Amino acid sequence: MTTILRILRFTRTLTPYYLAIMAAAAVVTGAGIAVPFITGAATDVVVDAVGSVSNGSGIPDGAIRSVMLLALALLAASLVETVVSNLGGYWGDVMSERMRTILSTRYFEQLLTLPQRYYDNELTGTIVARLNRSITEITGFMKTFSNMFVTMLMTTVAVLAISAWHYWPLALLLLLAYPAYLWLTAMTSRKWQRIEREKNEHVDEASGRFAEVVGQIRVVKSFARERGELDRFSRHFGETVRLASEQSRYWHTMDAVRRGVLNLIFFALYAMIFVRTVMGHFTPGEMVMLIQLMAMARQPVQNLSWVVDTAQRAAAGSRSYFEVMDLDPAVVGGPGSLPRSAEPASGEGADRSAPGAAVSFKRVSFGYDERTEVLGDVTFEVRPGERIAFVGESGGGKTTLVNLLLGLYRMRSGSIEVAGAGTDLASLRSSIGVVFQDPSLFSGTVAENIAYGRPGATRDEIEAVARRAAVDGFVSKLPDGYDTVIGERGMKLSGGQKQRIAVARAMLKDAPILVLDEATSALDTRSERLVQAGLDDLMRQRTSLIIAHRLSTIAEVDRIVTLRDGRIDEIGTPAELAESGGIYAELLALQHSASRADRKRLKRFDVIG
């Protein structure tokens, strides 16, 4: 019930549609209720006429006119019903579409505000499956509800009033039928919902895996895992079949009981009407009317079960939807995982940082969960225009530094300041251009991907950065040049080509701070040299944080920060660190060694000679 109120509140803007649909339903119901009265009246006229014809007194005056008028009244009632029910249907369609728009947009909006932490724990397919289910179930419910609610109410009241007027025990028996039915339905509800939830979990898990498999089909095929993936998928769906049959068996058993009870009550009603007509208390016309009325009385009761059924579905289907909507972006994932809000390097922050630091990390500690610490007490500063490189073991927290700088997670303690960044995450991020380890492109064209950070960029601007990032060379060979569609996540390109587009994308963003997280790791030596020339040119004008995988690149920076066990080991110029005997010196020594063990050790630092 609370879920339903929630849905109503959530889709408040649709209230005019609900009301219009209800009004249409009211007119349709009114036309429906008129029918028994008309046929009842016609029966009385006919019985009368047949009586006088068989007495030999001929057809009574105006009898034909009366039945014709009544027949016309029936026509009018059905015409009204036809027109208005279609009108209601139209409103219903528009309402569903609007509702879908509202539910999808809000969901997407909420997902976009949720921090990275949320996505670390969710599967894409699950997120999509949830949305689809909620839309189907909620829309279905609101349609049924607005269509049936007024009808149910009006029919119930009309039937009760009319039967009470004619013979009160009829009304009394009917009054008994409703609560009995409702009670039995409500009893069914809880177990039904529990099973539904289980079913949904299976569907969500299967859909999540499904999307992953489709997205990485190459891996699936190369490891010959099609069978295994299929089995896993069908196991989940097999479970839903088992659950559905349990659920349905239960529901239909309960439904049989409910309807059985109803049948008994209606048996009593019909018996009363027949007997009282035979005894002369009702005219045949009244009997016809009452019988039709009783048939109508059955409908609201049955509709009630429809409404309860779709309400159950809506409640179960929208549960996980609203769980996502209820997530507070500031609380997701518990402490230590929130995006921090960037503090500008001015005011209070400026006092603590050295004057003019472009980026400063102060005693930053962080872990992705409570148990482990990835970074501990990390403090360093990057001066404007400086190039600084980070060196540390693979898994040592270099990418994590980038994640924190971008405000993707909240630190456990400490602070990060970025000069020129505003007070919100969006402005912080707009001042940082980043090339990730994984290029992460989108399915559009090459040009669209390059312009992702600056949608208004002209073709000339795009082509200029493309030249600097050595993208133009391979793009000229693509069938449609810059308008070539590159497939999901850039599937149709090689790793190195993707990386070059990612570099061009960061170049076009033209942000004051540049972050390169192994930006050229997928390039061969020749194209790396080409891209590196463009990057060098780019870095000249800005502060750069570089996680390089090539010692030659690292050797050219202004300062190096080495990380050991999540802590800073040394900070110094390449020349200083080459002498100090630390990680960098060790790497330099290893570089010239030919032994296999030494090369292996280099690899552990994500570094090649």
Ligand X SMILES: Nc1ncnc2c1ncn2[C@@H]1O[C@H](COP(=O)(O)OP(=O)(O)O)[C@@H](O)[C@H]1O
By CB under 6 A, name the binding residues for ligand X: 120, 368, 374, 392, 394-400
Query: Could you identify the residue written with the tokens 């800073």?
Result: 568
DSSP state of 362: E
| Nearest-approach distance from CB 366 to ligand X, in angstroms | 9
Total residues at interface with Mg ion (CB under 5 A): 2
Q: What angle is formed at CA 270 by the lines to CA 264 and CA 272, rounded to 5 degrees?
A: 105
Q: Is 521 in the site for Mg ion (CB under 5 A)?
A: no
Q: Is 312 in the site for Mg ion (CB under 5 A)?
A: no
Q: For the sheet containing 432-435, what is the strand order?
A: 432-435, 513-517, 543-547, 387-392, 559-564, 567-572
Give the residue with the Cβ less far from ligand X, 16 or 395. 395
Which of 66, 399, 521, 553 is the binder for Mg ion (CB under 5 A)? 399
Give the residue with the Cβ less far from Mg ion, 236 or 550. 550
State how far the alpha carbon of 191 is from the alpha carbons of 182, 389, 590, in Å. 16, 60, 66
Binding to Mg ion by CB under 5 A, coded x per residue (else -) over 165-204, reads: ----------------------------------------
Choosing among ligand X, Mg ion, none, which partner's interface includes residue 368 (Cβ < 5 to 8 Å by kind)? ligand X
Choosing among ligand X, Mg ion, none, which partner's interface includes residue 88 (Cβ < 5 to 8 Å by kind)? none
| Nearest-approach distance from CB 549 to Mg ion, in angstroms | 9
Residue 390 backbone phi and psi in degrees, to 5: -115, 130
Give the residue with the Cβ less far from Mg ion, 272 or 607. 607
| Nearest-approach distance from CB 437 to ligand X, in angstroms | 7
State how far the alpha carbon of 95 is from the alpha carbons of 108, 130, 262, 375, 532, in Å. 20, 21, 34, 51, 55
| Nearest-approach distance from CB 99 to ligand X, in angstroms | 35
Choosing among ligand X, Mg ion, none, which partner's interface includes residue 397 (Cβ < 5 to 8 Å by kind)? ligand X
Tokens representing 49 are 């006429």
Question: In whole angstroms, how large is the CA radius of gyration of the chain?
Answer: 37
Give the residue with the Cβ less far from ligand X, 315 or 435. 435
Question: Which stretch in 172-180, 385-393, 397-405, 557-565 sits in contact with Mg ion by CB under 5 A?
Answer: 397-405
Half-sphere exposure of 9 (CA within 13 A, CB side): 7
Each as own residue / partner, the long-range contacts of residues 228-232 (CB below 8 Å, 24 or more positions apart, any chain) are: 232/206
Choosing among ligand X, Mg ion, none, which partner's interface includes residue 541 (Cβ < 5 to 8 Å by kind)? none
- How many angstroms separate the CA atoms of 508 and 433, rounded? 9
Give the residue with the Cβ less far from ligand X, 120 or 424. 120
| Nearest-approach distance from CB 373 to ligand X, in angstroms | 10
Give the residue with the Cβ less far from ligand X, 120 or 565. 120
| Nearest-approach distance from CB 403 to ligand X, in angstroms | 7
Of 38, 33, 288, the C-alpha closest to 157 is 33
| Nearest-approach distance from CB 606 to ligand X, in angstroms | 6
Three-state secondary structure readout of 500-533: HHHHHHHHHHCCCEEEEECCCCCCCHHHHHHHHH
| Nearest-approach distance from CB 407 to ligand X, in angstroms | 15
Binding site for Mg ion (CB under 5 A): 398-399
